[in-house]
Amino acid sequence: MSETAPPSSVDSPARRRLLEGMARAVAQKGYADTTITDIVREAAVSRRTFYEHFVAKSDCLIALYDAASHQALRVLADAIDPALSWQGQLEGAMRAYLGCLASSPVLLRTLFIDILALGAPGLAIRRAMSQEIAGFILQVAARPSSTPASAPFTPALAMAVVGGIHELVLEAIEQERPDSLEALVVPASELVRAVALRQG
């Protein structure tokens, strides 16, 4: 497993620039063809600065995955409008989340497919992020009158919902139609409703 950056480098300005540089380089060339030279050029920092924060390109990808995934989660959370009906909140949140994912097709492929090529470290960060999203679903479902659920929304069901939605996203990526993610708002919302309204 890759080493981690020293604690003093976490969330430093240089590290943020490197993640932005990685995102721009990947958007232009894809992860496989992106080099450390590309990353530091886009970030306008030295190779020495790169190695002060990351051991290898794969470590930078994992950090980018973490940052981009948390940004998508923030978009999801901010899109929930308590003034709307439960269905309106759900569809609005799904539209915002999927729109955020679709905003950069090449980066989307990197975050959903290339991350898996890293083996155990890639799987670990993907699993951790899925658990965070599932936890967010549970928090929203637990709010008074937040959903018309007829049975408790369990952690396992929340994770199943996240996995189901992400499988739909993966299918769109594999079929090279990331621009169709908006069309997933309806089936993704129906999936959440089906789970929430199931009989206990």
CB count within 10 Å of CB 55 equals: 13
3-state secondary structure of 72: helix
Pair (173, 125) in one structural domain: yes
* pTM over cut 0.85: no
176 Ramachandran zone, left/alpha/beta (phi>0; psi -120 to 50) = left
Pair (45, 82) in one structural domain: no
Which among 103, 118, 98, 101 is positioned nearest to 192, based on CA atoms?
98
Which among 76, 81, 103 is positioned nearest to 161, based on CA atoms?
76
Pair (77, 113) in one structural domain: yes
Which among 101, 94, 79 is positioned nearest to 170, based on CA atoms?
101
Write the pLDDT tens digit of every residue in 123-180.
Answer: 999 999 999 999 988 888 776 555 565 567 789 999 999 999 999 999 998 888 878 8
Pair (177, 112) in one structural domain: yes
Pair (50, 112) in one structural domain: no
- What local confidence, expressed as pLDDT, does residue 8 receive? 40
Q: Domain count for the chain, please give it.
A: 2
Output the six-digit token pair for 153.
């929304």
Higher pLDDT, 110 or 125: 125
pLDDT at 58 over 60: yes
Write the pLDDT tens digit of every residue in 97-107.
Answer: 999 988 888 88
Pair (162, 82) in one structural domain: yes
Pair (66, 132) in one structural domain: yes
The confidence band for 195, taking pLDDT boundaries of 50, 70 and 90, is confident
- Domain span at residue 29 reads 7-54
Pair (116, 153) in one structural domain: yes
Domain-embedded: residue 139: yes
Pair (96, 176) in one structural domain: yes
Q: What is the DSSP string of 9-68?
A: GTT-HHHHHHHHHHHHHHHHH-TTT--HHHHHHHHT--HHHHHHH-SSHHHHHHHHHHHH
Write the pLDDT tens digit of every residue in 3-22.
Answer: 444 434 567 899 999 999 99
- What local confidence, expressed as pLDDT, does residue 179 receive? 80
Pair (112, 126) in one structural domain: yes
